[in-house]
Amino acid sequence: MPISNALTALLDDTAKAVRTYEAEAKAALDRDDRDAHSKALQAKCELLEDLPAGIDALPAEETTPGLARARKAASSMSQRASQALSLNSLFYMANLLYPDDYEEGQPNELERLVAAIVETEES
C-alpha cells in the first residue's frame, strides 16, 4: 500500500476509533457510569498520544502529500492529549478535538485533517 493510502487509512481509522470512544463515554455518562466514562475518554487520549508513533512507523516517503501536515497535526493532538491525561480533566479529554464554536454533526479536527489530505491526494 502506498504511504499516502496508508497514512489516510491510519488517520481515518484513528478518527473512527475516537468517535467510538466518544460514543462509549457518552453512553456511560447517560447511564451514570462515571468510571466507564472516564476510561473511554482516557482511551481516546491514549490513542491520540500514540498517533505520531503510528505515522512515524509508516514507510518513509517525505514527498507524500500531506505527510508533513499530518505529522505536525498529530504532534499537536498528542501533546494536548498528554496534557489532558496529566491534568486528569474529563472536560479537556472530551473536548480535545473540538473548537469552541463546534456544532454537533460537524467534523472534528482529526476528521478535517483526513479530508484535507484526501483532497491533496486527489489534486
Structural domain that includes position 93: 3-122
pTM: 0.91
Q: For residue range 67-105, what is the model confidence (pLDDT) as tens digits?
A: 889 999 999 999 999 999 999 999 999 999 998 899 989
Q: For residue range 6-40, what is the model confidence (pLDDT) as tens digits?
A: 899 999 999 999 999 999 999 999 999 999 999 99
- Residue 22 CA to residue 93 CA, distance in Å, equals 10
Grid cell locating 45: 487520549
List Cβ neighbours of 110 (8 Å cut-off, separation of 6 or more): 11, 14, 15, 18, 48, 73, 77, 97
The identity of residue 10, as a single letter, is L
Look at the chain and report how many structural domains it folds into.
Answer: 1
* CA 6 to the chain's CA centroid: 16
